[in-house]
Structure 1
Amino acid sequence: MDWSDEGLVIGTRRHGEAAIILELMTAAHGRHLGLVRGGRSRSLAGVLQPGNTVLATWRARLDEHLGTYAVEGQVLRAAALIATPAATFGLQHLASLLRLLPERDPHPGLHAAAERVAGRLTEPLLAAALLVRFELGVLADLGFGLDLNACALTGARADLAFVSPKTGRAASRSAGAPWADRLLVLPAFLVGGEVAPTPADIAAGFALTGHFLSHRVYEPRGLPPPREREAFLRALELA
């Protein structure tokens, strides 16, 4: 059996003398691994770098086998990404988030979002805003989505400013004011698509998603928060 798909390279590891095991986030087949024979050759080494987008053809006798990949480069952005610490740490954090998903489980929306993040990692503040949204998307696809559409107390859809750390539901500025010290800040760029975020807004966004990732994903799985996330925030001076 075989298939062809576009994939974002999120990791590699050596296998034997010349091969590598390639980890891709693909559009239609989710996070998927496969063996690339000769993957450490000069002709392929530059293509199979994390952050690049490739066209991959996977083949195996049975679906449950590791299988092999034949790849060709589509967008080779890795060299630009490793030039700055923020882009490098951002890419590593993006990969760590994708590894929270079950292997071979399709998540086309997250694949498209991951490609957008990877394409903007050389623009730190824009990439950071996209990563906050990506973390929200990961939470949603894992079954822990936040309800940021309306105030949980009044039903109002305007001036949403807070999120309950227990329920993940939004509250308007006026309704949430009496409990503001116990609520998480909801930055405007997460509820208004045209709002340009400030560094303070992005820091608030990461605090919001970080709370729910920790309490709903990492802690239940016995995992520490990824060091790459903290390193990315430090590189942007947001930690």
Structure 2
Amino acid sequence: MRFTTPAIILSLRIHGEHGAIVRMMTPDHGLQAAYVRGARGRRLRPVLMAGNEVEAELSARTEGQLPQATVELLHSRGPLLAEPLPAAAIDWATALTATALPEGQPYPRLHAALDGLLAAVEAAPAASGWGAALVRYELLMLAELGFGLDLDQCVVTGDHDGLVAVSPRSGKAVSAAEAEPYLGQLLPLPTFVREGGTAGWPDIVDGLALTGHFLLRDVISDRSTPVAESRHRLVERLHRAAGLA
């Protein structure tokens, strides 16, 4: 097996004296893990940072063997890691992708969405400029893994208009009239989630509460604690930025 591909660096785990196992997201080959020789060296350390775009050449003698990879930097997002909010967003988005996806299965829509999210974080370091993109990425992640939310019609009446909440149990939308008696028990459904467009702070916070409930329940509930902690750090920083902390 041998192929060359653009890739987004997701995570790095030290392996051996000088190398590391690097997880990366590719457009056509999905999540790939590969051993990178010299990953801890001066040349490659700044290349193998989460969120960076690289060109990777992966090769393995047999199908079951861990591939080896060589990487060349295409685009660095290293400077963003010095900014608390962008760094937290990159940390969470890459950690979620590295943890949630099975290896070797193509998810071209997720690769494109992750690339777009990272570009949005880079273009507008203020979270009000990329918060909606993060919520959409999390919604897409849920859908691609088979946990998509049903936000097209009210679960009770079948109406397509006036949807304001989501059942935390079923992931289905609820209209305003049906939601009113149970507002304290339902998750808010921000308008931008269904209709697109930009979002203000309250809608971004509500959107992250919505996606976070299902991600933590269905996708990373039995995964490593650091992944959940990564999201908790991001949400805390967003709440402070929004003046809600």
User: Structure 1 length normalisation: TM-score?
Assistant: 0.90
Contact 1:186 1:205 in 2 (8 A): yes
CA distance in 2, matches of 1:128, 1:226: 18
The corresponding residue for 1:138 is 141
Once the two structures are TM-superposed, the CA of residue 214 in structure 1 deviates from its matched residue by 2.7
CA distance in 2, matches of 1:203, 1:144: 21
Query: SS in structure 1 opposite 2:82?
Result: coil
The corresponding residue for 2:235 is 233
Q: How many residue pairs were aligned?
A: 236
Query: SS in structure 2 opposite 1:156?
Result: coil
Instruction: Give, as a single letter, the amino acid of the residue that structure 1 aligns with 2:220.
Output: Y
- Alignment map for 1:89-238 (pairs within 5 Å): 89-98=88-97, 99-121=99-121, 122-194=125-197, 196-219=198-221, 221=222, 224=225, 226-236=228-238, 237=240
Contact 1:97 1:138 in 2 (8 A): no
Alpha carbons of 1:34 and 1:218: their partners in 2 closer, same or farther (altered >3 Å)? closer
The corresponding residue for 2:58 is 58
Once the two structures are TM-superposed, the CA of residue 222 in structure 1 deviates from its matched residue by 6.2
CA distance in 2, matches of 1:171, 1:155: 9
Once the two structures are TM-superposed, the CA of residue 234 in structure 1 deviates from its matched residue by 1.5
Instruction: Give, as a single letter, the amino acid of the residue that structure 1 aligns with 2:92.
Output: H
Bigger CA drift: 16-25 or 28-37?
Answer: 16-25
Contact 1:87 1:124 in 2 (8 A): yes
CA distance in 1, matches of 2:177, 2:136: 25
| 1:101-159 alpha-carbon deviations (Å, 9 max, x no partner) | 11222211111111112222223223322221122112112211100112222322222
Bigger CA drift: 10-19 or 69-78?
Answer: 10-19
Contact 2:155 2:173 in 1 (8 A): yes
Contact 1:160 1:191 in 2 (8 A): no
Alpha carbons of 1:123 and 1:62: their partners in 2 closer, same or farther (altered >3 Å)? farther
The corresponding residue for 1:81 is 80
Note the aligned Cα RMSD (angstroms): 1.9
Alpha carbons of 1:215 and 1:45: their partners in 2 closer, same or farther (altered >3 Å)? closer
Query: SS in structure 2 opposite 1:132?
Result: helix
Instruction: Give, as a single letter, the amino acid of the residue that structure 2 aligns with 1:92.
Output: D
**Structure 2 residue ranges without an equivalent (≥5):** none
- Alignment map for 1:20-39 (pairs within 5 Å): 20-39=20-39
CA distance in 1, matches of 2:118, 2:75: 10
CA distance in 2, matches of 1:83, 1:142: 32
**Structure 1 residue ranges without an equivalent (≥5):** none
CA distance in 2, matches of 1:177, 1:127: 31
Alpha carbons of 1:151 and 1:114: their partners in 2 closer, same or farther (altered >3 Å)? same
The corresponding residue for 1:47 is 47
Superposition misfits of 4+ residues, deviation over 4 angstroms: 222-225
Identity of aligned residues (%): 37
| 1:38-91 alpha-carbon deviations (Å, 9 max, x no partner) | 33333333222111011111111012211111222222112x221211111111
Bigger CA drift: 33-42 or 198-207?
Answer: 33-42
CA distance in 1, matches of 2:24, 2:62: 19
Alpha carbons of 1:59 and 1:218: their partners in 2 closer, same or farther (altered >3 Å)? closer
Contact 1:51 1:81 in 2 (8 A): no
CA distance in 2, matches of 1:43, 1:164: 50
Instruction: Give, as a single letter, the amino acid of the residue that structure 1 aligns with 2:72.
Output: E
User: Structure 2 length normalisation: TM-score?
Assistant: 0.88
Instruction: Give, as a single letter, the amino acid of the residue that structure 1 aligns with 2:28.
Output: A
